[in-house]
Amino acid sequence: VAATLLDLKAARLLPVAEVEDEADLALLEARDLLFARLLQYRAYKQVADIFAGRLAREARRFPRTVAMEPRFAELLPDVVIRIGPEGFARLAVKAMQPKPEPAVYVDHIHAP
């Protein structure tokens, strides 16, 4: 892709004959658009190939399905909850309240 882009840049640096016909100009623009789409397609295809390769490699991996070893289970601290039912109720009310609409202040940019 980089080599193709360099070729395009080099071609644009060379002197070009003047285009007098609007139809020719439209055809050139359409060709350029199609070429740009081709480059985008190539880039997406390359990325899709990379993703497909990674998915194929990762399909051979499986998570470990064993219990936690006792020596690590002993390292876990005891869960201490220092909030009562009323505290949980207050938290729930606060969490369920509608959030204020974010605002962008532009007064410092322009004063009418």
Task: Report the pLDDT value the prediction gives residue 16, as an integer from 0 to 100.
Answer: 64
pLDDT digits over 17-71, tens only?
Answer: 665 677 777 777 888 888 888 999 999 999 999 999 999 999 988 888 888 888 8
Quote the pTM value.
0.38
Whole-number Å distance between alpha carbons of 101 and 12: 50
Task: Report the pLDDT value the prediction gives residue 5, as an integer from 0 to 100.
Answer: 67
Please report, for the chain, the start and end positions of each structural domain, with discontinuous segments joined by +: 2-58
The closest of 80, 74, 8 to 38, measured between CA atoms, is 8
Segment 73-102 shows an average pLDDT of: 90
Whole-number Å distance between alpha carbons of 88 and 68: 31
Task: Report the pLDDT value the prediction gives residue 49, as an integer from 0 to 100.
Answer: 97
